[in-house]
Structure 1
Amino acid sequence: MAKLEKPIRTCVVCRNKLTKENLIRLQCKDYKLISFDGIGRSFYICNECQEKALTDMETKKIEKALFRQCKKKDEYLVQLKEIITHVR
């Protein structure tokens, strides 16, 4: 039987390619940042970028990536921090 490799996904902030275990899956719905609910387009953010968001490091880069995904400027960084603390 063939050996299957784990799926690789890309973090929208740092563009690193990682396995799904090292990422959180999010989506924008009605211009709100939420955890992926199984319907629609989604994107991934790695654990390292999540830590940077919580410690307020490189927030411009994170905000820019979120603006790019959600197509509108809003308080996505605050919403991201709420999601990260809720998931952990």
Structure 2
Amino acid sequence: MFSFKFTNITIFSNRSYFQIYGCALNQGYTSCEQLIESVRQANVHNCAAADVEFAVAVYVHPYMNNILSVWISVSQLLRKRM
């Protein structure tokens, strides 16, 4: 039904090199500000590591009567120390 396009596939084939933390949020669309606040409350962006990377994916599913269901996936990737 929906797909995510990843630009760096090596992340998933080399999972042993990364610690991956994140969450998926689903809610109805009311405003961009409300969606941004939901992402902030998830607190995935709060990381003090210097080498952290982030990934975001968004999917919007339309329903009748101008109703939108918004899925947001937010992740942080930390390189493991070897």
Q: Which interval holds the TM-score relative to the shorter structure?
A: under 0.3
- When normalised by structure 1's length, the TM-score is 0.26
Which structure is higher in helix share?
A: 1
